[in-house]
Structure 1
Amino acid sequence: MCLQVYRIRPPAVNGPMPSRPLVALLDGRDCTVEMPILKDVATVAFCDAQSTQEIHEKVLNEAVGALMYHTITLSRQDLEKFKALRVIVRIGSGYDNVDIKSAAELGIAVCNIPSSSVEETADSTLCHILNLYRRVTWLHQAMREGNRASSVEQIREVAGGAVRIRGETLGIIGLGRVGQAVALRAKSFGFNVIFYDPYLPDGVERSLGLQRVGTLQDLLMHSDCITLHCSLNEHNHHLINDFTIKQMRQGCFLVNTARGGLVDEKALAQALKEGRIRGTALDVHESEPFSFAQGPLKDAPNVICTPHTAWYSEQASIESREDAAKEIRRAITGHIPDALRNCVNKEYLLLAAQWSGIDPASVHPELNGAAAYRFPPGVVGVTTPGLPEPPVVEGIVAHGIPSVSHSAPRTPSPGETSKLDADREIPADQ
């Protein structure tokens, strides 16, 4: 792999961005969509990395903006390697691969693109649901294997397990953008739709003509098919586990196009083998990229898996990349976080800014008077000078770059639970 460098400036300190800020695409190499939007305000680089160990030191030292998909994870330790980073934009809606609290404490805003793949994800979800009910995948496989259905008895045998949809109850966990789109589509097919979402305001069910249930247990007990459309956080990891599976109707279907960590795959595999769950369709998995040859689902029956592609269409991909580049541009030309449209850790940033004005020794004596990481008014002020420099896309690829410690100590956080800790639904895509 090569290293191509062009007009990289010295590392920026906490304050105004340099006249030509560096923006890096961390886990990709195609910047053709982003360049027309950013070329007059930033130098754009691509890293094509799967971890921060593969990111070049120049990016770690000088990048003020980062674009990323779902194929790289940024923990606190990873974030501390970046010396000048101000904003991260996740090209997609899910941001469970970024430690947003730690990012805020380090002065880094994290944004997502929540709406570009709503239709694609909802359509893919319905495809999976219909596939489970009408067994299209298994019928196709049977024909490819040479099975023939020339008599009624043979048809019954090969199509056994196919179910009428009208009158079945579809249970949706998380009624955000994608959940609502799935509900509207499912009603057209004759499903009775119920949902569970404790964070949704009262009355939404009336406007959509849906039935709301008060507890997760109610939804599990009354659904013939369950589909997941909630975010993944520390509160709902393995939401579907052996205990919750036992609360489901016997022979229930399960669909997951949200986040792989919501489902305990070992418990799911056992339930499939025992027939407690009739069939499952998964677009997301605990370990990605997914392989049938590895993991607990390899011997489980009635499983449909796709490789985290429910979000994808050419149109959605371009729209999400354009929106992400525009968010980076707003960060460069405006003020963080006020100029950002989809800052998912804004509350944490503001809390960190409040704490930065307090002498940490008076709150946490164990810091021995060390100065907390301080933020200027408005959290971060960003300015851009007049004439732009010629645009450039850089390929910056590293070989085993050692990690670098962040110079700022951790900002103390209030003890109370923030609303951002709650299981708020977001449309699941990349």
Structure 2
Amino acid sequence: MIKVLVTYDMFREGFTELEKLYDVTFPEGRDFSYEEVYEMIPEYDVLCSMFDFPVNKKLVDHAPKLKLVSNYAVGYNNIDVAYCIEKGITVTNTPAPVTAPTANIALGLMLDVARRITECDRKLRRLGKQMKVGVLENLGIPIDGKTLGIIGMGRIGQALAKRAVACNMHILYHNRHRLSPEEEASIPARYVSKEELLAQSDFVSLNAPYTPETYHLIGEEEFKQMKSSAVLINTARGPLVDEHALVKALQDGTIHGAGLDVFEFGDHPLPELLELENVVLTPHIGTQTYETRVIMAQTVCNNVIGFLEGDRPITRVLHP
């Protein structure tokens, strides 16, 4: 019987169909460690990995029966995709379920920073009646009529663009591959160079995947190219931004503010960011709704079943 190893402890609601068809092993009360998976993997045909679980050359070489890695995430930088493909192992991910919730978080962060929502909440709690609330106090910036520059115009970038258009924003974008004229017109959005986007945008949203090419996509030089009134939003991956350079840019007014759902050095931001009023921070909650988590699990299972049975489409990762 086909054996499936799931590295993460999660509610079973999304895995019902998978358990009916195959021999599925789950951890209980905690995620499996890398060492545990390394010891178990020789007996398994399928590995269901989490976005932070490393599927590297060492693990692949220790998995003679492995045919599929079904990743619970849209990103797959935790997996050595090139080596898996070289070894005849298929890799899949879960792009569709994360699109709307991540775009919503990006829009929420944009509104929050612009209108100083979280900042005012903190001040009210800290200062109470001592907080100044006059008509010219706590002035924010509108988003309507402003220009949003999107770097990475895939599913999430396009979903964010359509939400921003509904807020009467103008859309610029930069992408590895330009959209078709029909796709651009349907949003609508205008393709520009990265330099043009940074110089012209009031808000810059990062929605690109994390690859060696996108490491520190935004750093000291890029901040200097942005408007001093600009706001940076990152809901993609933390290492796309040089976080030390971001701290400096926020401290000295090179840019106006930032909204971050991801951080360069793991689950927590640099301590300096916690001290700044012009940044809004959330702990990677872009897909954190119960419904989204269940649908992501179902997508993982659909990828496994579709690969093994050929009865449904799968979201195959074709290249690193």
Which residue of 2 is the match for residue 427 of structure 1?
A: none
Q: What is the identity percentage for the equivalent residue pairs of Structure 1 and Structure 2?
A: 28
Identify the residue that residue 210 of structure 1 maps to in structure 2.
Answer: 189
Cα distance in 1, alignment partners of residues 283 and 132 from structure 2: 36
Q: Residue deviations 1:140-194, cap 9 Å, x none?
A: 1111013437876x4534x14x112222111111111111111111112221221
Structure 1 counterpart of 2:34: 52
Q: Which amino acid counterpart does residue 12 of structure 2 have in structure 1?
A: C
Give the equivalent residue in structure 2 for 1:69. Answer: 50
Where in structure 2 are the equivalents of 1:20-419 lying within 5 Å? 20-34=1-15, 36-47=16-27, 48-49=30-31, 51-55=33-37, 57=39, 59-148=40-129, 154-157=134-137, 159-160=138-139, 162-203=140-181, 204-213=183-192, 215-290=193-268, 292=269, 294=270, 297-334=273-310, 341-345=314-318
1:209 alignment partner, SS class:
coil
d(CA) in 2 for partners of 1:150, 1:228: 34
After superposition, the Cα gap between the structure-2 partners of 1:322 and 1:175, relative to the gap in structure 1 and judged at 3 Å, is same
How far off its partner does 1:318 sit?
Answer: 1.2
TM-score, scaled relative to structure 1 = 0.69
Distance in structure 1 (CA, Å) of the matches to 2:10 and 2:288: 18
Instruction: For CA contacts below 8 A with separation 6 or more, give which structure has more relative contact order.
Output: 1
Q: Distance in 2 between matches of 1:170 and 1:134?
A: 16
Alpha-carbon contact 1:272-1:301 (below 8 Å) kept: no
Measured in 2, the distance between the counterparts of 1:27 and 1:150 equals 45
Aligned residues of 1:49 and 1:55 also touching (Cα < 8 A): no
Work out the number of aligned pairs and report it.
317
State the superposition RMSD in angstroms: 2.2
Q: What SS is found at the alignment partner of 2:78?
A: coil
Alpha-carbon separation, structure 2, partners of 1:74 and 1:44: 19
Based on CA coordinates, which of the two structures has the bigger radius of gyration? Answer: 1
Distance 1:74 1:286, change over 3 A: farther
Give, in whole Å, the separation in 2 of the partners of 1:29 and 1:192. Answer: 40
* Alignment gaps of 5+ in structure 2: none
**Higher relative helix content:** 2
Cα deviations by residue, 1:188-217 (Å, 9 ceiling, x for unpaired): 22212211123133302122222221x100
TM-score normalized with structure 2 length:
0.91
- Do the aligned residues in 2 keep the contact of 1:66 with 1:88 (CA within 8 Å)? yes
Mapped contact 1:117–1:312 kept (Cα < 8 A) = no
